[in-house]
Chain A
Amino acid sequence: MAGAGGGGCPAGGNDLQWCFSQVKGAIDEDVAEADIISTVEFNYSGDLLATGDKGGRVVIFQREQENKGRPHSRGEYNVYSTFQSHEPEFDYLKSLEIEEKINKIRWLPQQNAAHFLLSTNDKTIKLWKISERDKRAEGYNLKDEDGRLRDPFRITALRVPILKPMDLMVEASPRRIFANAHTYHINSISVNSDHETYLSADDLRINLWHLEITDRSFNIVDIKPVNMEELTEVITAAEFHPHQCNVFVYSSSKGTIRLCDMRSSALCDRHAKFFEEPEDPSSRSFFSEIISSISDVKFSHSGRYMMTRDYLSVKVWDLNMESRPVETHQVHEYLRSKLCSLYENDCIFDKFECCWSGSDSAIMTGSYNNFFRMFDRNTRRDVTLEASRENSKPRASLKPRKVCTGGKRKKDEISVDSLDFNKKILHTAWHPAENIIAVAATNNLYIFQDKLN
């Protein structure tokens, strides 16, 4: 895996200067609901970047080859393919609408010249093939090139079609549809390192699929109580270990993470490891349980650590230590006093995701007011940056932002009360080998990169 084990690329985080590279999406203040980006994901090489939106579309950007004529553009990402992955549906048996919103996209390791990705909405997972075609067959026996039919009885010789070069065409075709296996909403999909299976998780169950088999999946975790009134916890995210194909983790709304080993038994209701940080009784409040709910879990590229995001913090766990995280980074601690109003406007239930840098040395996660945070794990320094169209000149450096918490507001600081809670950065992605990040801010996708020299 690219950059695994460290040393491959610079440390990332705040010791780097980040600069603007590109912004995608409409400038209008009026944002159509369907255009809101709901997931962002680089492929294994980082040459492709996929986004999914609430309108069920998937847009794939491809990194251009380095252009010698324009030294400033270090491989910009341009649209490669756009396709409608999911359509709104109606479940007549249960009288339920099924939204087309793309919840997650996961790329498959490349297996031939084509690229494959899994996309999922609440219920149905689809495997898409994105392939290129640059040749076209020409010549028919029974009709002319312009489509006019020839007299079939005047055929004097057989013509075999000839391949002619044509403009590059990128096709997205649905290869498999994995449906009808989830009663609740799918929150995660994760491809296994064995290259042939993947898991899908909903609120109460995790299923294991073979990528070539659509009519059968195996339920590997089921936490549904016999009596739904006794339900106290739901699955919030799940992911396979990057190298060990038998290990996966899932996080819960109670702030705990369970690591399961599929070798021990077919049904993984019993975990192998249980990661939980003891609660500090002094800080207990009405909101404790809500804000401790884990919204995302990600293994580091090395496979040694995993990172979890809860409402106010992001934690790094060593897989060898279950009792507490090895690092805890505060994302927006200043919101602790605002929990009441965040509860009322439902923001407290926002599901922020988090991601690792290619070398695992830095981590990134989102916040409100189009702010996102980066933590350097080596230097222990952190920075708040903003995804904004102001100052969106190419190669313009991003200025660190500060939110003031006390009474006196310094110059350049923003008061907590003036934060815009409608502008939230939930989805971000980090290039697997380089310091290039993709940040989804509502309907815009920002791409930033480190400033060389």
Chain B
Amino acid sequence: MAGAAGPGTGPGAAGGDGDDSLYPIAVLIDELRNEDVQLRLNSIKKLSTIALALGVERTRTELLPFLTDTIYDEDEVLLALAEQLGNFTGLVGGPDFAHCLLPPLESLATVEETVVRDKAVESLRQISQEHTPVALEAHFVPLVKRLASGDWFTSRTSACGLFSVCYPRASNAVKAEIRQHFRSLCSDDTPMVRRAAASKLGEFAKVLELDSVKSEIVPLFTNLASDEQLQKAVGPKITLHDLIPAFQNLLKDCEAEVRAAAAHKVKELCENLPTEGRETIIMNQILPYVKELVSDTNQHVKSALASVIMGLSTILGKENTIEHLLPLFLAQLKDECPEVRLNIISNLDCVNEVIGIRQLSQSLLPAIVELAEDAKWRVRLAIIEYMPLLAGQLGVEFFDEKLNSLCMAWLVDHVYAIREAATNNLMKLVQKFGTEWAQNTIVPKVLVMANDPNYLHRMTTLFCINALSEACGQEITTKQMLPIVLKMAGDQVANVRFNVAKSLQKIGPILDTDALQEEVKPVLQKLGQDEDMDVKYFAQEAISAVAQRLRKLDFPVKDSEEPSGPGADKNHFLRPRGPGEDTGKAHRERAARVAPEEAVGAARFRGTDVAKGPAYQLHVHTETHLPNWKLQN
């Protein structure tokens, strides 16, 4: 790749006194400054190759100084550079020289782009481990201090991530300084710095001596937790008993955002409590607050809680779950906010393990039915997506009894997106419950819709067949589905007819050659001569796909009558062929070119049959979000 972008002189003119192996490296180095970002990026990604060729000495004295000044480059180049430098220790001469990597990474840790800064910090953390204790204090710690006392907040936020990696290996005097710097970042003027410090508080506390944690971190934590602006960053990561009261305060904070963030951490906090006495602490000190949150006024708080509350059941065990948690779950299942209910439903499996599904299903069902019939289609869509999951949890028997009818009802929803999702849902259910279940429960109901007076429902049958055929296998597809599809080829609505063509193309690979040859082919041929241009077009597409399949199955194709070009046989079903007969190629090209124009014409002139809904629909998809046309003020 590198060679291709080099100057015109082609390889092969070997000779001269130069070293051939240097050429690709020379190209890579030159392309570090190429105008094309892609080439620069390419070179940066091969930085290790360049460094290897240069040797450790030149890498240190020439390459790194040059790289330190590339911070003007595009973000993606900088990101790649930051990543590369993290693995560069070996290439600069090992741990003794790891500090040479600090200057470029320091510049990268102050750029405006968060992703680049984060990557630079990550690499700095990596190479900090490779520093000798002496080098760490001589080079790395000063860098952390420089960043921590930088003029701009970007460098100070970057510093926050570096304290915990250098602290454990520093001497006591330096440790005190590091703690001091961290303290001042915790009370920085810029909220973003305080937030970064708060998010690293837990990590830093882990490497601190117990005394320091008690005397310094806990006060810091309490301060940050009462910080007006950005309390939510303070995840309760330190599981000391002192922190329970602080956590309780967060759970009843006046800011909804804080309560939501705290609620989100309920499970994590409970898990991290010492096992001994955990149950008592949760029951007495946490649960009362959780109960309050279930009826919080803010929906974000409730939904945050709903996403983790189920996890408490594994911690508390069966009896406590039934007695204390179940009422909360049920309250949340009946919550007015759909997100809360969804969060509960999607985490059912953890409760299932503890108390069994029977207990839960009796109260669960009404909530699901309600969601399934929600007036907002997005809510319906979301619940459909949970159906396969629920089905797996509830088992086939329960599903047939209670939920099957819902799934079928979605197929005739008036929103296309719901019908589409319902179709996919059926496919996943079949994958779960097997073909026999499909044959007995799903397929008959789907096929009945083929006779529906609404053409949209007839099309849904086709879409279902597209989705189900593969899961159901050849036998069901050939015996039950194919006849219906073929019958629909005579539908009076053109949209149904061209979807028949598309379906035949789709299920073709599942059918055997006999069915293809004897049943599919004649119908496609007929559709290929349909009066409607679109039907013709899709029939032709299907014909060529089927033909290809027949050829793959060694179905004899009369070569003598075929043009030799690849794909030129696309239309050989189109019209009866004889020697010298038109191959259909010209015709196909015309059709392809004309089709879009005529489709527009068709859209405009085809009438609308009131009883059957609009006779014509845009053929791609029914757009659910049409562009918002608004008047200029």
Q: Contacts of A160 on B, CB cut-off 8 Å?
A: 29, 54, 58, 62-63, 66
Task: Tally A-B pairs: CB < 8 A.
Answer: 125
Q: Contacts of A110 on B, CB cut-off 8 Å?
A: 151-152
A93, A152, A203, A212: the one contacting B7 at CB < 8 Å is: A152
Proximity string of chain B (589-633) to chain A, C-beta cutoff 8 Å, 1 when within and 0 when not: 000000000000000000000000000000000000001101111
Distance between A268 CB and nearest chain B CB, rounded to angstroms: 14
Q: Contacts of A348 on B, CB cut-off 8 Å?
A: none
Proximity string of chain B (251-280) to chain A, C-beta cutoff 8 Å, 1 when within and 0 when not: 000011100000000000000000000000
Counting chain B CB atoms within 10 Å of each CB, the highest count among A153, A157, A228 belongs to A153
A137, A154, A194, A212: the one contacting B33 at CB < 8 Å is: A137
Tell me if B23 and A152 are in contact (CB < 8 A): yes
A141, A171, A184, A234: the one contacting B29 at CB < 8 Å is: A141
With A and B bound together, what is the CA distance between A114 and B152 in angstroms?
A: 11
With A and B bound together, what is the CA distance between A41 and B633 in angstroms?
A: 28
Distance between B224 CB and nearest chain A CB, rounded to angstroms: 16
Q: Is B15 located at the chain interface by the 8 A CB criterion?
A: yes
Proximity string of chain B (70-101) to chain A, C-beta cutoff 8 Å, 1 when within and 0 when not: 00100000000000000000000000000000
Interface residues of A in 391-412 (CB under 8 A from B): none
Q: Is A4 located at the chain interface by the 8 A CB criterion?
A: no
Closest residue of A by beta carbon distance from B114: A212
Tell me if A114 and B29 are in contact (CB < 8 A): no
With A135-B69, A153-B18 in contact, is A195–B153 under 8 Å at CB? yes
A112, A133, A171: the one contacting B152 at CB < 8 Å is: A112
With A and B bound together, what is the CA distance between A194 and B153 in angstroms?
A: 11
Report the interface size class on chain A. Answer: 35 or more
Tell me if B30 and A151 are in contact (CB < 8 A): no
Closest residue of A by beta carbon distance from B15: A153
Tell me if A163 and B18 are in contact (CB < 8 A): no
Distance between B43 CB and nearest chain A CB, rounded to angstroms: 12
Q: Is A420 located at the chain interface by the 8 A CB criterion?
A: no
Tell me if B190 and A195 are in contact (CB < 8 A): yes
Distance between A125 CB and nearest chain B CB, rounded to angstroms: 17
With A and B bound together, what is the CA distance between A110 and B8 in angstroms?
A: 46
Q: Is A185 located at the chain interface by the 8 A CB criterion?
A: yes
Tell me if A184 and B15 are in contact (CB < 8 A): no
Closest residue of B by beta carbon distance from A175: B112
Interface residues of A in 125-184 (CB under 8 A from B): 129, 131, 133, 135, 137, 140-143, 149, 151-163, 171, 175, 183-184
Q: Contacts of B190 on A, CB cut-off 8 Å?
A: 195
Proximity string of chain A (73-99) to chain B, C-beta cutoff 8 Å, 1 when within and 0 when not: 000000000000000000001101000
Tell me if A263 and B255 are in contact (CB < 8 A): yes
Counting chain B CB atoms within 10 Å of each CB, the highest count among A109, A160, A162 belongs to A160
Interface residues of A in 200-257 (CB under 8 A from B): 203-204, 212, 228, 234, 245
With A and B bound together, what is the CA distance between A94 and B631 in angstroms?
A: 8
Tell me if A158 and B26 are in contact (CB < 8 A): yes
Tell me if B26 and A116 are in contact (CB < 8 A): no
Interface residues of B in 560-583 (CB under 8 A from A): none
Tell me if B192 and A194 are in contact (CB < 8 A): yes
Interface residues of B in 1-57 (CB under 8 A from A): 6-9, 13-20, 22-23, 25-27, 29-30, 32-33, 53-54
Distance between B46 CB and nearest chain A CB, rounded to angstroms: 14
With A and B bound together, what is the CA distance between A162 and B65 in angstroms?
A: 9
Distance between B303 CB and nearest chain A CB, rounded to angstroms: 13
Q: Contacts of B255 on A, CB cut-off 8 Å?
A: 263
With A and B bound together, what is the CA distance between A56 and B143 in angstroms?
A: 42
Tell me if B256 and A263 are in contact (CB < 8 A): yes
Tell me if B16 and A153 are in contact (CB < 8 A): yes
With A and B bound together, what is the CA distance between A113 and B106 in angstroms?
A: 13
Q: Is A66 located at the chain interface by the 8 A CB criterion?
A: no
Distance between B310 CB and nearest chain A CB, rounded to angstroms: 26
Tell me if A245 and B191 are in contact (CB < 8 A): yes
Q: Contacts of A184 on B, CB cut-off 8 Å?
A: 632-633
With A and B bound together, what is the CA distance between A331 and B23 in angstroms?
A: 73
Q: Is A196 located at the chain interface by the 8 A CB criterion?
A: yes
Q: Is A378 located at the chain interface by the 8 A CB criterion?
A: no
Interface residues of B in 225-245 (CB under 8 A from A): 229
Q: Contacts of A203 on B, CB cut-off 8 Å?
A: 633
Q: Contacts of A195 on B, CB cut-off 8 Å?
A: 153, 190-192
Tell me if B9 and A131 are in contact (CB < 8 A): no
Closest residue of A by beta carbon distance from B151: A110
With A112-B152, A194-B229 in contact, is A155–B26 under 8 Å at CB? yes
Distance between B84 CB and nearest chain A CB, rounded to angstroms: 16
Tell me if B192 and A196 are in contact (CB < 8 A): yes
Q: Is B110 located at the chain interface by the 8 A CB criterion?
A: yes
Q: Contacts of B32 on A, CB cut-off 8 Å?
A: 161
Closest residue of B by beta carbon distance from A231: B633
With A and B bound together, what is the CA distance between A157 and B26 in angstroms?
A: 9
Q: Is B155 located at the chain interface by the 8 A CB criterion?
A: yes
Q: Contacts of B54 on A, CB cut-off 8 Å?
A: 158, 160
Tell me if B65 and A194 are in contact (CB < 8 A): no
Distance between B36 CB and nearest chain A CB, rounded to angstroms: 15
Q: Is A345 located at the chain interface by the 8 A CB criterion?
A: no
Tell me if B633 and A158 are in contact (CB < 8 A): no
Q: Is B111 located at the chain interface by the 8 A CB criterion?
A: yes
Q: Contacts of B256 on A, CB cut-off 8 Å?
A: 263
Q: Is A111 located at the chain interface by the 8 A CB criterion?
A: yes
A112, A114, A156, A171: the one contacting B18 at CB < 8 Å is: A156
Tell me if A111 and B66 are in contact (CB < 8 A): no
Tell me if A185 and B152 are in contact (CB < 8 A): no
With A and B bound together, what is the CA distance between A175 and B13 in angstroms?
A: 45
With A and B bound together, what is the CA distance between A42 and B256 in angstroms?
A: 37
Q: Is B466 located at the chain interface by the 8 A CB criterion?
A: no
Q: Contacts of A96 on B, CB cut-off 8 Å?
A: 632
With A and B bound together, what is the CA distance between A153 and B53 in angstroms?
A: 17
Q: Contacts of B114 on A, CB cut-off 8 Å?
A: 212
Tell me if B20 and A153 are in contact (CB < 8 A): yes
Interface residues of B in 157-190 (CB under 8 A from A): 190
Counting chain A CB atoms within 10 Å of each CB, the highest count among B17, B26, B69, B153 belongs to B26
Q: Is B332 located at the chain interface by the 8 A CB criterion?
A: no
With A111-B154, A158-B26, A195-B191 in contact, is A263–B257 under 8 Å at CB? yes
B25, B69, B113: the one contacting A158 at CB < 8 Å is: B25
Q: Contacts of A204 on B, CB cut-off 8 Å?
A: 633
Distance between A247 CB and nearest chain B CB, rounded to angstroms: 11
Q: Contacts of A153 on B, CB cut-off 8 Å?
A: 9, 13-16, 18, 20, 23
With A111-B152, A196-B192, A228-B631 in contact, is A163–B26 under 8 Å at CB? no
B66, B112, B633: the one contacting A185 at CB < 8 Å is: B633
With A112-B155, A129-B112, A141-B26 in contact, is A161–B33 under 8 Å at CB? yes
Distance between B378 CB and nearest chain A CB, rounded to angstroms: 17
With A153-B18, A263-B256 in contact, is A142–B112 under 8 Å at CB? no
Closest residue of A by beta carbon distance from B53: A158
Tell me if A152 and B6 are in contact (CB < 8 A): yes
Tell me if A163 and B65 are in contact (CB < 8 A): yes
Tell me if B26 and A154 are in contact (CB < 8 A): no
A114, A161, A175, A228: the one contacting B66 at CB < 8 Å is: A161
Tell me if B30 and A142 are in contact (CB < 8 A): yes
Closest residue of B by beta carbon distance from A149: B7
Distance between B1 CB and nearest chain A CB, rounded to angstroms: 16
With A152-B6, A263-B255, A263-B257 in contact, is A161–B229 under 8 Å at CB? no
Q: For the complex of A and B, list the 5 residue pairs with the smallest distance between their C-beta atoms, beginning with the closest.
A: A141-B26, A160-B62, A153-B16, A154-B18, A155-B18
Could you name 15 residue pairs across A and B whose Cβ atoms are closer than 8 Å?
A111-B112, A111-B154, A112-B112, A116-B112, A142-B6, A142-B27, A149-B7, A152-B7, A152-B9, A155-B18, A156-B18, A160-B63, A175-B112, A212-B114, A263-B255
- Apart from A151-B16, A152-B18, A160-B63, list 8 A-B contacts with CB within 8 A: A112-B154, A149-B8, A155-B18, A158-B26, A160-B29, A163-B66, A184-B633, A263-B255
Name B's A-contacting residues (CB within 8 A): 6-9, 13-20, 22-23, 25-27, 29-30, 32-33, 53-54, 58, 62-63, 65-66, 69, 72, 110-114, 151-155, 190-192, 229, 255-257, 627-628, 630-633
